[in-house]
Structure 1
């Protein structure tokens, strides 16, 4: 279940769709119709009904949208297209790894020059900032976010003699230490209970709460500093306490630990509601609740839109982007495909505030809205993947018992230093 929501939604996309995407774009060098704007996104990244409207005619833009959903390795296809400087779409979707596109900033329009500043106040400040390069160019426009919270099984908590109402659970586990103590009580009362699917989930969600990550905006590597080691040690501690289900991402156990009831609590992003219990354990409808996460607000996930420099009509493209990502339309996109808005005005929309029967009639949007508004924000660098992968891989080695925590940390840092040096980052 540590698999991202994006990957989950893209599983059904086939090679034929990818091939169609590579031939159906609308850059200046293509044969695309003059009255169309081409757009690439991945499966599950936008609301289909809104796209259908734009394909008939983008409101206020005088153009139609030609949308292509790219399957397979989306980012590789986009970067390959940009590198070739041909067959580049007018508009592209960008995942939460937006910083990896910063080295290609010259391939995109600065959205401020198209009027982005006029709508900045409509968006979460930290989300807006993520689309701006260290050189102060606004490369990407906010789409959805991934605020985090604690999901838990109310019935299991009741069986264990623990608080069951969201406010009471939040009071009982305001930080990670108390969450671990709560997990130990759960396991004692209901043997086999786990409070995370695997070690990398704890690390990732602890990191998602921090105001800094792996590098500074000035390019200094800080992935070996205390804040990262503390998140690492926390993840190792949860495993050593026997509170992890040891269901590694991509394994056959990933969904099974939700289906069979072993995973009774999980700190996850808003999209996990669909990816986890609603998908893997539909019979548990009414048993789950959501409350603020131990350790504070966080964010994991979210996406962006960018306008390439090859765009036939940048003003029309910007009109489309601002229409699609308006508070009204972001509320629509929360219903399908469960994209949590980056526009706070959406949080009081009746389409979001309706009670959720799966969560016992709770208004879960209230919990995630507070997390989204209070998340401190952090700098994401173009090298975060290079840094994050060795840390995650070595944490798995700790969980499966093939390495000690200290050895795994040392090996991760060695690999990171080698890769960053090779990339010219340090």
Structure 2
């Protein structure tokens, strides 16, 4: 991740001139808002500036490093009806579970600033934040448009093209991607093409019109033939030696980045920071980025800011959430954390389009991901339990295949495992 520069003077230039109603200098009551986040949202520089122009307001950010424990705590509190922070961040993989508790959240379309319109966001991002009953539960923060990252030196050693324009043919479709991987394994004498079959499978599933669950929250695994086709294609690649069998973000996956244990990696925008941090300075310039992704576009990641109904200061919290998710603030977050904006106006910003990543050979990553974001169509419906299916059923099942288990037998275990979670 890029180092955060705490430059309050620069941040103040972004702040609105008009103070939020109820928080001005003449307000006798001081208000404290708590915002709960996880990982890196890039808000540390922004919050002091907002407080500076809102003298009656104190903001306390409670940050949890890991998203898993954060969301488990959030869901536990929702189920028990316990009080939450005034603003709760929610990652898109856990959003369905939160939307199932929409009655416990304020409708931002009703209490938020009237100038905040749906057109601020990409349509699919805005719609993803709405519950089944039409309530706007979350303001979108970032997104994770998908591109491909690859090791130029490893591809060159295998006699494959290496410049971003030439590699697009290899990454045009999943068929071409796996064919190139088969060729790479043979030419490199058995070196893996990608890091993790679970990562590849999840990307393929997320591109489908219907995923693991339908809109009635019933399992589709026995009727959605595209899921079985994806399983067959990915596990065939595993049997060909294309997977390194690593676990992304775990010690073995991070070590694989440092040692060049695989040649290609699925790259949402935020992954660039992960690669740079884990692969280290010794691999600077070896990685490259191309504006291509098999079978079109896709999205992996991104979050929302919600205002729980338990907040005693819902309007003030909604105003802060609206400001943090405005294009100017999300561009700032992109510069300091790599989180790609979901706001339409940000896509034409010179600051975004001129963003260059030296670690990836001077790639214009702002332009790459702006183009990839526009390829994402209607979001796939993800019902409650979708994240658990991926984490507790699919990932360990694919790991078993990577360790030598029969894909057909493991698929039957997948069906049984999913049915234990959902009807």
CA shift in 2, pair 1:218/1:362, >3 Å: same
2:18 equivalent in structure 1 = none
Instruction: Give 1:412 deviation, angstroms.
Output: 1.2
2:273 equivalent in structure 1 = 274
Segments of structure 1 that go 5 or more residues without pairing to the other structure are: 6-32, 421-425
1:368 equivalent in structure 2 = 369
2:416 equivalent in structure 1 = 414
The within-5 A match list for 1:241-320 is: 241-249=240-248, 252-291=251-290, 292-320=292-320
* Partner residue of 2:188 out of 187, 190, 193: 190
Q: Distance in 1 between matches of 2:277 and 2:248?
A: 18
1:28 equivalent in structure 2 = none
Q: Is the 8 A contact 1:56 1:64 kept in 2?
A: no
The within-5 A match list for 1:193-272 is: 193-224=191-222, 225-249=224-248, 252-272=251-271
Instruction: Give 1:34 deviation, angstroms.
Output: 4.5
Q: Is the 8 A contact 2:185 2:193 kept in 1?
A: no
1:323 equivalent in structure 2 = 323
* Partner residue of 1:112 out of 109, 112, 118: 109
Instruction: Give 1:250 deviation, angstroms.
Output: 6.0
* Partner residue of 1:398 out of 398, 401, 416: 401
2:141 equivalent in structure 1 = 143
Instruction: Give 1:299 deviation, angstroms.
Output: 0.8
Q: Is the 8 A contact 1:63 1:316 kept in 2?
A: no
Instruction: Give 1:68 deviation, angstroms.
Output: 1.4
Instruction: Give 1:173 deviation, angstroms.
Output: 3.0
Instruction: Give 1:346 deviation, angstroms.
Output: 1.6
Q: Is the 8 A contact 1:194 1:263 kept in 2?
A: yes
Q: Distance in 1 between matches of 2:345 and 2:283?
A: 32
| Deviations, residues 129-154 of structure 1 (Å, cap 9, x unaligned) | 11111222111110111111110122
Instruction: Give 1:272 deviation, angstroms.
Output: 1.6
Answer with 78-87 or 91-100: which moved more: 78-87
Instruction: Give 1:58 deviation, angstroms.
Output: 4.8
Q: Is the 8 A contact 1:187 1:193 kept in 2?
A: yes
Is 1:67–2:70 an aligned residue pair?
no
What is the TM-score of this pair, normalised by structure 2?
0.85
Q: Distance in 2 between matches of 1:222 and 1:406?
A: 18
3-state SS, counterpart of residue 177 of structure 1? helix
Q: Distance in 1 between matches of 2:293 and 2:355?
A: 22
2:23 equivalent in structure 1 = none
Q: Is the 8 A contact 1:278 1:285 kept in 2?
A: no
* Partner residue of 1:40 out of 25, 36, 39: 36
Instruction: Give 1:275 deviation, angstroms.
Output: 1.2
Q: Distance in 1 between matches of 2:70 and 2:100?
A: 18
| Deviations, residues 104-133 of structure 1 (Å, cap 9, x unaligned) | 111110111124784210111111111111
Q: Is the 8 A contact 1:210 1:298 kept in 2?
A: no
Q: Distance in 2 between matches of 1:86 and 1:294?
A: 43
Count of matched residue pairs: 387
CA shift in 2, pair 1:301/1:116, >3 Å: farther
Is 1:165–2:159 an aligned residue pair?
no
Q: Distance in 1 between matches of 2:386 and 2:91?
A: 13
Over the residues paired in the alignment, what is the CA RMSD in angstroms? 2.2
What is the TM-score of this pair, normalised by structure 1?
0.84
1:30 equivalent in structure 2 = none
Q: Distance in 2 between matches of 1:95 and 1:268?
A: 17
